[in-house]
Amino acid sequence: MESTQREKYLSDTPRTLGLLNHLALVVRGPGNLAWIFCCLLLQLALYMGLKSFWIESTSFSNPGVVAGVCDRVSDTNLTVNEEEQYEVGFYFEHEGKRYTGFSYVLGYPPKEGSRVEVEYVLKDPNISRIRGLHYARFPILIGVLTAFILLLALIGVMRSLRGFRLGHLLVYGNPVQATLVSKEPTNVSINDETVYKLNFEYTDPAGEVRSLVVKSHKYDHLVDEKYELALCDPGKPELCFLFDDLPLSLTISQSGQWDPPKGTMGLFIRSAVFFGLMGWTFFQLFS
C-alpha cells in the first residue's frame, strides 16, 4: 500500500484499535519479555526463600531476645567461598509456651545442646532466629537475584509505557511524512548483519521540523519510498513512529480503522500463558 493511500486512510482520528490489538500490544508488545523473565526469576527467588529474606530484612530491627537451646545441626550441602553452610535447629520458651525454629550459618555452627541467644519478632514469636545467624537460607544470592528482578521490573515498566504511548499514537496520532536524511552504520550487529542508524526528518502539524531516529539491521522496507509515512503524537509532537516500523505488523483498513492482528489463536494461547504466569507469580508472592 502506497504511503499517500495509507495517509488518506489515517486522516481521521480517533481510530478504532480494537480489543485484540490492545491485547497484542500487551503480550507481544515492547515490555512483555522483560515481564516474563521478571516473573521467572521471581519464581526462582520464591523457591529459594524470598519471603524469608524479606522477613529477615524488615522484621528484626527491634526484636525480643530470649535464651534458647541449639538442639540440631545439619549440613545443607551448600558451600560459599569454601565454607560449608549449616542449618541450626533451636527452641526457646516465651510466656510459658515453647517455640522452635531454624537458622543458617556459614563456617562454624553452635554445638548441639549449647545455649544460644534467640531473637524473635515481638508480634509473632514463631518468627525467630539465633542471634548472629540468618533467618533466610540464601540471603546473599536472593539479594543479588532481587536486584536483577527490580532491574527487569524497571525495564518492563519503561517498555510497557512505550507500548501505551504507541497505543495512544495508533488511535490519535497525526500522519506526517518523514524524509530520510542520512544512514550510518553502528558498531552493533544482529545475525552478522550491521545495525544502521537511520535519521529522518518530519514536519509536525505546527510546522516545526523535527528529527526521528530508527535503528535496525533490516531497513529496506523503511527506505523504499521517497517519503515514509509516520504517526506523530498530537500532544507531544517529538514522539513519532514510522508506520512501516510499527510492531505486530499492523495494517489499516480503507475505513481508517486498524485491522485485527494475525494469528488470533496464537494470540489467545500466548495471552493465557502470559497472564497465567503473572497471576500465579503474584499469587505466590502475596499468599
Q: What is the mean pLDDT of residues 3-29?
A: 77
Q: Is the pLDDT of residue 1 over 60?
A: no
Stretch (H or E) spanning 222: none
* Confidence at residue 102, expressed as pLDDT on a 0 to 100 scale: 95
Distance between start and end Cα atoms, the chain: 52
* Confidence at residue 91, expressed as pLDDT on a 0 to 100 scale: 97
Gap between the Cα atoms of 230 and 259, Å rounded: 18
- Kindly report, residue by residue over 67-103, the tens digit of the pLDDT: 999 999 999 998 888 889 999 999 999 999 999 999 9
79-108: burial string, b at 16+ Cβ within 10 Å, e else: eeeeeebbbbbbbbeeeeeebebbbbbbee
Q: Is the pLDDT of residue 154 over 70?
A: yes
- Kindly report, residue by residue over 122-147, the tens digit of the pLDDT: 999 999 999 999 999 888 889 999 99
Gap between the Cα atoms of 37 and 18, Å rounded: 28
50 Cβ partners below 8 Å, 6+ apart? 42, 142, 145, 146, 285
Read off the pLDDT band of 19 (50, 70, 90).
confident
Q: Is the pLDDT of residue 13 over 80?
A: no
Gap between the Cα atoms of 84 and 82, Å rounded: 7
Placement of cell 569454601 in the chain? 82
Read off the pLDDT band of 7 (50, 70, 90).
low
* Confidence at residue 203, expressed as pLDDT on a 0 to 100 scale: 92
